[in-house]
Structure 1
């Protein structure tokens, strides 16, 4: 039997089996059973249809971790429209680019972030702007609760949706600075969630706390996996250690996610508050990705906080999960240090490390190659970027997605990232294009040359670091550089470290040798990528 794999299957199952279970707890504490949540999803669908949204149209959302993020996702997908979650840390110029690139017909925004849409709303194709708590937003916005409140809770008639139809577009930083829209189909999203379910050990009695931003690969698939399995979503708008621990206790949370930066902030908070309770009645596990957590961090989280760490690896283009070190068999054999590696391939996923000719490198844990992957969870394409799509799937080994991450692989198939081929910095779990930051710095009238590289950081894994040669007679300060960058870049892209140098190493053709610069900063590290 061949049945279409659709994102709508997850909420349908939750309503069929868990209609009376609390499915979603809002940031403010309002509880919705899955039946009540589905009613609100239907209202979102009906409101979109009344606005004229048709199958294939894009609906963009700018929101932190909220109940209405989940409502908008399902409400969009069940009418065959395409969900476009946006990173709330971006700038108006970024949103201008994204909304034009995806040709969004509707924009829904949170009251804390809508001010970054307002300056560009006349420049984008969207005709409808809906705001959560619209009274708190400057400009003309339709209030979200009034918008859905006027609609029936009856399920709309669903169009014929094919599993290969677009379900979502997730934007990621490009190496040239322009964001790339990662197109994910209903089929890839469903595979994504099923693989996640297996490796995150999700069950119907799980209570999942949203500390990971929902916009990241649709929350790494937990928007689907937790729902379809019948667990409970507890929404927390953004991460802070005190609120996270309070919600863990109050809601008896069993599962959450966070980049190594989140782990480090939790460790710091508990060191300052040693008597705080870190669990409810149940054991807690936390999944982490981005840069590998440091061994000391793993030890502290597992031994002192009492949470079990699951380390995964992937990219926006791969859903993200393509490897995990969550292997009880290997952990028993090799110990906790295994968790600093990216681990072995996920279920139904073919992950290889290849040389420049596309051949597998030896499984000797020493030879470095690029990670490439085949899997049903891998993206369909980059939106409006046919050339970049072709390159991503054909650069060295045709038919495999090329990650740009350089790694070794051992006799057990365990992969450990050593370096990056792409000009990307992963700082606090966010991807930063070093070229984009350099382009901004070169706009400063007193900067002659600039190189932006990752440097080791205990807090961030990798710190965005700017090495700057000033023009003769200039008197720049570190604060002035950061302020200049801050006026033009999202907060997480602003250099955390600024150093003034007399010169930068260059090739004979005048290209800055960033690899040499990176080696100078990473010479005491085991690898050229961060461990938070």
Structure 2
């Protein structure tokens, strides 16, 4: 028989079997059972319906990992409306673009970020603005808590698994973000895969360090909920607080970018060691460019946590590979560190290939470089309102496969290891930064004649953006501006995490005969002491 795969089933199941069990530890100290979480989600559904939100309408959520995000997400999806989470590190101009592009009808924004929405509210089609603390927000905002207390009465529409239920905006190689359309089916199957490969069970206690806006928290808003496990919410990343929470809440599972692992290690060293676990053994998932072996060694041998390295992109669910293939290494052997540095092998039901420019699979020799392409049920449906970008993403080297833009090799066991990046994307501390967007911003400065931005190695962030600037006046001794001024200039115009960490004034940029900048030459120079040209954070 066939049963539609709907994301609403995750909370429905938790309420059905775990209604009286603790579901959420809020950042404010409150604790909610699954019955209570479900009732608050119902209240948000009812409030949206009363204000004209219908199936297919977009509802944006701007929130730093609080229980409100979970309630708003499920409250939206129960109406068949489209959950549209927003990156809280963006600037008002970014939100203006996204809210217009998605034609968002309602915005819920945490009080700490509502000001960014208030600044552009007259320039977007959004009709209703909701926050969790109206006393801390200027303008006409509705109270989330008052809304969910009004009523829990709403009609859930009939839904199809092939309908879009979430749009996740991601930075591309151009300045405008792209809306990644994900259906009930892609979200559900990705959550199933995450449950399997991350070994999620109903007795797990999950600590939110990964932003929920990151492709729905890597699907954990579904997987943790559906399994009846416990969410421990967390507004920010502070090492002392994270360790304390792990101990006090008996956290068993968390996700952490390599930069978060570095922060935890620094604190651990500064304190001369701390207790790193409560009563439960801890496992941690990290993603993107692999952490160095020293990081894995510290996390496993000193923290006593079990590390799983995974890989993917917003467009792919995100997760498509794992290095947690335990038949290939011994838990007590140092050989496991080299294995866990690799991006690994494909998830269940996921066809991951590395292909050359002709679309043929590269040799499994650990040396032949090709682009990673993937086909799987967790891969996105399309880009919102961008048919040409969608076509390119699925047809460049191999028809029907999503092209990751990462260049990699494959070893004799089929393990994938990234070597370089094809796209003009810098991944710094887990955030995508478009080098083109940064170049365009710098070009607007009168003192900049030409510019190229590349990723350079960073101990803290894995990699960070560096700009090579040709002064408009051609004078390297007196370029008409300074490194500090240009960095400040970019911070005023784009999200601060996108700003260059370093600027070098140069007489000219390496170019081809046709005038195309050869960034590869710049990258080779900056990465000559590294074993690959991607960051290891």
Q: TM-score of the superposition, structure 2-length normalised?
A: 0.97
In the alignment, the residues of structure 2 paired with residue 274 and residue 138 of structure 1 have an alpha-carbon distance, to the nearest angstrom, of 45
- Which of the residues 199, 204, 207 maps onto 1:206? 204
Residues 381-411 of structure 1: per-residue CA shift (max 9 Å, x gap): 0000000101111111111111111100112
1:55 to 2:60 alignment: no
In the alignment, the residues of structure 2 paired with residue 207 and residue 274 of structure 1 have an alpha-carbon distance, to the nearest angstrom, of 27
- Which of the residues 269, 275, 278 maps onto 2:276? 278
In the alignment, which residue of structure 1 is the partner of 2:114? 114
In the alignment, which residue of structure 1 is the partner of 2:396? 395
In the alignment, which residue of structure 1 is the partner of 2:150? 150
Are the counterparts in 1 of residues 131 and 142 from structure 2 also a CA contact under 8 Å?
yes
Residues 40-69 of structure 1: per-residue CA shift (max 9 Å, x gap): 010010000001000000000111101010
In the alignment, which residue of structure 1 is the partner of 2:524? 519
In the alignment, the residues of structure 1 paired with residue 156 and residue 16 of structure 2 have an alpha-carbon distance, to the nearest angstrom, of 17
Deviation at 1:509, TM superposition (A): 1.9
Are the counterparts in 1 of residues 64 and 236 from structure 2 also a CA contact under 8 Å?
yes
In the alignment, the residues of structure 2 paired with residue 275 and residue 318 of structure 1 have an alpha-carbon distance, to the nearest angstrom, of 38
Q: Which moved more, 1:507-516 or 1:248-257?
A: 507-516
Are the counterparts in 1 of residues 179 and 384 from structure 2 also a CA contact under 8 Å?
yes
In the alignment, which residue of structure 1 is the partner of 2:164? 166
In the alignment, which residue of structure 2 is the partner of 1:335? 336
In the alignment, the residues of structure 2 paired with residue 257 and residue 427 of structure 1 have an alpha-carbon distance, to the nearest angstrom, of 17
In the alignment, the residues of structure 2 paired with residue 239 and residue 290 of structure 1 have an alpha-carbon distance, to the nearest angstrom, of 19
In the alignment, which residue of structure 2 is the partner of 1:140? 140
In the alignment, which residue of structure 2 is the partner of 1:507? 512
In the alignment, the residues of structure 2 paired with residue 240 and residue 465 of structure 1 have an alpha-carbon distance, to the nearest angstrom, of 27
In the alignment, the residues of structure 2 paired with residue 437 and residue 520 of structure 1 have an alpha-carbon distance, to the nearest angstrom, of 21
In the alignment, the residues of structure 1 paired with residue 364 and residue 39 of structure 2 have an alpha-carbon distance, to the nearest angstrom, of 52
In the alignment, the residues of structure 1 paired with residue 439 and residue 238 of structure 2 have an alpha-carbon distance, to the nearest angstrom, of 31
- What does residue range 254-273 of structure 1 map to in structure 2 within 5 Å? 254-273=252-271
Residues 215-257 of structure 1: per-residue CA shift (max 9 Å, x gap): 0010000100000011000000121111111111110100000
Are the counterparts in 2 of residues 259 and 291 from structure 1 also a CA contact under 8 Å?
no
Unaligned stretches of 5+ residues in structure 2: none
In the alignment, the residues of structure 1 paired with residue 90 and residue 212 of structure 2 have an alpha-carbon distance, to the nearest angstrom, of 15
In the alignment, the residues of structure 2 paired with residue 160 and residue 230 of structure 1 have an alpha-carbon distance, to the nearest angstrom, of 25
Instruction: Say which SS state the counterpart of residue 407 (structure 2) adopts.
Output: strand
Residues 490-521 of structure 1: per-residue CA shift (max 9 Å, x gap): 01101112222222111112221101100101
In the alignment, the residues of structure 2 paired with residue 296 and residue 331 of structure 1 have an alpha-carbon distance, to the nearest angstrom, of 17
- What does residue range 7-46 of structure 1 map to in structure 2 within 5 Å? 7-46=7-46
In the alignment, which residue of structure 2 is the partner of 1:479? 484
In the alignment, which residue of structure 1 is the partner of 2:248? 250
Deviation at 1:308, TM superposition (A): 1.2
Instruction: Say which SS state the counterpart of residue 450 (structure 1) adopts.
Output: strand
In the alignment, which residue of structure 2 is the partner of 1:493? 498
Deviation at 1:331, TM superposition (A): 2.1
Deviation at 1:149, TM superposition (A): 1.6
1:320 to 2:318 alignment: yes
1:422 to 2:423 alignment: yes
Deviation at 1:471, TM superposition (A): 2.3
In the alignment, the residues of structure 1 paired with residue 390 and residue 425 of structure 2 have an alpha-carbon distance, to the nearest angstrom, of 18
Are the counterparts in 1 of residues 289 and 418 from structure 2 also a CA contact under 8 Å?
no
Equivalent residue pairs, number: 530
In the alignment, which residue of structure 1 is the partner of 2:5? 5
Structure 1 ranges of 4+ moved more than 6 A: none
Deviation at 1:475, TM superposition (A): 3.3
In the alignment, the residues of structure 2 paired with residue 363 and residue 375 of structure 1 have an alpha-carbon distance, to the nearest angstrom, of 22
Are the counterparts in 2 of residues 322 and 349 from structure 1 also a CA contact under 8 Å?
yes
- What does residue range 229-248 of structure 1 map to in structure 2 within 5 Å? 229-248=227-246
Deviation at 1:280, TM superposition (A): 0.5
In the alignment, which residue of structure 1 is the partner of 2:452? 451
Q: Which moved more, 1:465-474 or 1:69-78?
A: 465-474
In the alignment, which residue of structure 1 is the partner of 2:463? 462
Deviation at 1:474, TM superposition (A): 3.0
In the alignment, which residue of structure 2 is the partner of 1:297? 295
In the alignment, the residues of structure 2 paired with residue 137 and residue 246 of structure 1 have an alpha-carbon distance, to the nearest angstrom, of 31
Instruction: Say which SS state the counterpart of residue 373 (structure 1) adopts.
Output: strand
Instruction: Say which SS state the counterpart of residue 264 (structure 1) adopts.
Output: helix
Are the counterparts in 2 of residues 213 and 238 from structure 1 also a CA contact under 8 Å?
no
Are the counterparts in 2 of residues 55 and 81 from structure 1 also a CA contact under 8 Å?
yes
1:373 to 2:374 alignment: yes
Residues 47-98 of structure 1: per-residue CA shift (max 9 Å, x gap): 0000100000000011110101000111111111000000000011100100
In the alignment, the residues of structure 1 paired with residue 255 and residue 398 of structure 2 have an alpha-carbon distance, to the nearest angstrom, of 32
Deviation at 1:276, TM superposition (A): 2.1
Instruction: Say which SS state the counterpart of residue 296 (structure 1) adopts.
Output: helix
Q: TM-score of the superposition, structure 1-length normalised?
A: 0.98
